[in-house]
Amino acid sequence: MATDSLTITDNRTGQTYEVPISDGTVRAMDLRQIKVDEDEFGMMAYDPAFTNTASCRSSVTYIDGAAGILEHRGYSIEQLCEKSTFLEVAYLLIFGELPTAPQLDRWMFDITHHTFVHEDLKHLFEGFRYDAHPMGMLLAGVGALSTFYPDAKQIGDPEERYMAAVRLIAKVPTLAAFSYRHNMGLPYVYPDNELNYAENFLSMVFKKTEDRHIPKEALTKALDVLFILHADHEQNCSTNAVRGVGSSDVDPYSAVAAGVAALYGPLHGGANEAVLRMLRRIESPENIPEFLERVKQRDEKLMGFGHRVYKNYDPRARIIQQYIEPVFEATEYSPLVEIARELEKRALDDEYFTERKLYPNVDFYSGIIYEAMGIPTDMFTVIFAIPRTAGWVAQWMEMQEDPEKKIARPRQIYTGERELEYVPIEQREGPEKIVGPPARRPKRPRRGA
Ligand code: CMC
């Protein structure tokens, strides 16, 4: 008998099956042979939320959640944050190796020269309500990119894939900044090719009447590191969305738009926004014990804590902490830092959180830094989407090369009725209650209407 195998005995039939084990996994399809009757469908694995299912083979990002390790293409996140830049890390994620100097020059040149978006995209943004959430605008903008680059549908063409990678990484910051300017009622600022990636983004966000907006170095350094920290995180909710949607062979802009939508959720990219709101609600360090009590009663969630994969301190959270002081030296001190530090200390001293292995994640401190930079809370998730675009593209590219690629199509356990006889409407009986929306909330005022 092969040693790398799993022997399964079906106690319903007494039959034994041997299933191969490879890379510590069994193939769910190997379970299909397990059946009571020959004409039965066969056994499936049930795993809502994919908590114990590997959905692909990937060499992009390695995480050891128990040890708190994160590596991209084999390089530790600590080394990358200390020695690299976001654009170099984006190259590493997508092409699998650190670039040589000429490769990096070409990559940076290509990204820098594709930062402009078509003027019609600007008009699309002008059509949004004045208070549209910038993430909703980004979602629409990224989806709309597919209509400007229809050749990107040729996903088998390496040149088209390269151009889509360049355009996405180059244009997402522009769309992100435009969404902010729209919210603020300010004119859009065009990209400045003389600035680096982080500087250019901050310039498009904050430039007013000056000829050139050059942000403080402490801020651009911190932002570049935050970009590296958020660049990829293996099969998280949004990456899974990009892969799932991309598996239909749709163009990469549409697949990445799916990632943006997933990231919008408060349990994923929206968490740092939620952290800031939580810290503001706590108001002062003396309210922390009462707040933590409410978390334990499950009336609240401790946002910025806990992670599906990390059951230890999120290494990204540790790195971010080093940038808090330099950012606050270059800006204004925020009392929220004290609340965050005290909240972290108390939670880490509390059995409720340690027993559940709840530690700060990347989002616990990132929002505080963004706020210090003058970025409004609504923009936090949008800023997360900028670097994560590199990860989505890398994972999308990898999927295209995967010989096992197939359209994603999970199974289900059907729990409903079967083979009912259709009842004409006049003969139907049922509860009096009419299903409809809950009591109407007052409408928000509309501009100019
Ligand atoms: N506050 C309070 N209790 C929590 C929290 C939290 N933030 N997170 C998990 N728990 C409890 C949960 O109630 C459960 O307790 P019990 O076993 O008594 O029922 C236990 O911890 C295990 O939690 P879980 O729900 O099984 O964990 P999960 O892996 O399904 O959820 C998570 C992971 C990130 C969705 C969750 O921890 C959470 O909602 N955290 C707050 C939101 C947040 O900060 N998200 C950012 C994640 S990092 C950025 C990214 O990668 O997107």
State the chain's mean pLDDT as an integer.
94
**What integer pLDDT is reported at residue 312 of this predicted model?**
87
The C-alpha atoms of residue 236 and residue 300 are separated, in whole angstroms, by 24
DSSP E strands in 61-189: the ranges are 61-64, 69-72, 75-76
The C-alpha atoms of residue 22 and residue 27 are separated, in whole angstroms, by 8
Asked if the model's pLDDT at residue 446 lies above 70, the reply is: no
Q: Among candidates 274, 362, 270, which has minimal Cα distance to 315?
A: 362
Looking at residue 336, its amino acid is L
**What integer pLDDT is reported at residue 269 of this predicted model?**
87
260-274 pLDDT per residue, tens: 999 999 888 888 889
Q: Among candidates 339, 311, 403, which has minimal Cα distance to 56?
A: 403
Spot the catalytic one: 224, 251, 314, 363.
Answer: 363
Residue to mutate, 301, 309, 344, 383, ligand 1, most ligand atoms under 8 Å from C-beta: 301
For the segment 200-204, the average pLDDT, to the nearest whole number, is: 98
> Which sign, positive or negative, has the C-alpha torsion 48, 53, 59, 65?
positive
User: What is the 327 CA–ligand 1 centroid distance (Å)?
Assistant: 29
Query: What is the bridge-based pairing of β-strands 61-64 and 69-72?
Result: antiparallel
Supply the residue whose CA is at minimum distance from atom 34 of ligand 1: 307
* Residue ranges around ligand 1 (CB below 6 Å): 233, 236, 267-269, 271, 295, 301-308, 356, 358, 361-363
User: What is the 325 CA–ligand 1 centroid distance (Å)?
Assistant: 28
Q: Please state the domain extents for the chain.
A: 5-46, 58-403
341-383 pLDDT per residue, tens: 999 999 999 999 999 999 999 889 998 999 999 999 999 999 9
Supply the residue whose CA is at minimum distance from atom 27 of ligand 1: 308
Spot the catalytic one: 72, 233, 268, 314.
Answer: 268
Residues above pLDDT 70, as percent of the chain: 97
For the segment 323-340, the average pLDDT, to the nearest whole number, is: 91
Residues above pLDDT 90, as percent of the chain: 89
The C-alpha atoms of residue 10 and residue 155 are separated, in whole angstroms, by 44
Predicted confidence band of residue 440 (pLDDT cuts 50, 70, 90): low
Asked if the model's pLDDT at residue 79 lies above 80, the reply is: yes
Predicted confidence band of residue 430 (pLDDT cuts 50, 70, 90): confident
Question: Helix 158-184 and helix 252-263: axis angle, to 10°?
Answer: 40
31-40, 146-155, 433-442, range with the lowest pLDDT = 433-442
For the segment 93-118, the average pLDDT, to the nearest whole number, is: 98
Supply the residue whose CA is at minimum distance from atom 22 of ligand 1: 356
Q: Among candidates 360, 382, 380, 355, which has minimal Cα distance to 370?
A: 380
Residue to mutate, 296, 361, 380, ligand 1, most ligand atoms under 8 Å from C-beta: 361
Residue to mutate, 308, 355, 365, 380, ligand 1, most ligand atoms under 8 Å from C-beta: 308
Supply the residue whose CA is at minimum distance from atom 17 of ligand 1: 356
Can you read off the two tokens belonging to residue 211?
A: 């000829």
**323 DSSP 8-state letter:** T
Catalytic residue check, 47: no
User: What is the 308 CA–ligand 1 centroid distance (Å)?
Assistant: 7
Supply the residue whose CA is at minimum distance from atom 38 of ligand 1: 306
For the segment 52-79, the average pLDDT, to the nearest whole number, is: 96
Q: Which atom of ligand 1 is nearest to the CA of 301?
A: 1
Catalytic residue check, 123: no
24-33, 189-198, 269-278, range with the lowest pLDDT = 269-278
User: What is the 141 CA–ligand 1 centroid distance (Å)?
Assistant: 31
CB 89 within 8 A of CB 80: yes
Predicted confidence band of residue 71 (pLDDT cuts 50, 70, 90): very high
Query: pTM score, two decimals?
Result: 0.91
The C-alpha atoms of residue 420 and residue 197 are separated, in whole angstroms, by 60
Supply the residue whose CA is at minimum distance from atom 24 of ligand 1: 308
Spot the catalytic one: 72, 213, 307, 314.
Answer: 307
Q: Among candidates 31, 35, 37, which has minimal Cα distance to 18?
A: 31
The C-alpha atoms of residue 442 and residue 53 are separated, in whole angstroms, by 44
**What integer pLDDT is reported at residue 94 of this predicted model?**
98
Q: Which atom of ligand 1 is nearest to the CA of 314?
A: 48
Asked if the model's pLDDT at residue 441 lies above 70, the reply is: no
**What integer pLDDT is reported at residue 444 of this predicted model?**
62
Catalytic residue check, 72: no
Q: What CATH superfamily classification does 58-403 receive?
A: Citrate Synthase, domain 1 (1.10.580.10)
Asked if the model's pLDDT at residue 449 lies above 50, the reply is: no
Spell out the alpha helix ranges (H) of 185-332.
197-206, 217-229, 237-246, 252-263, 271-282, 288-296, 315-321, 324-330
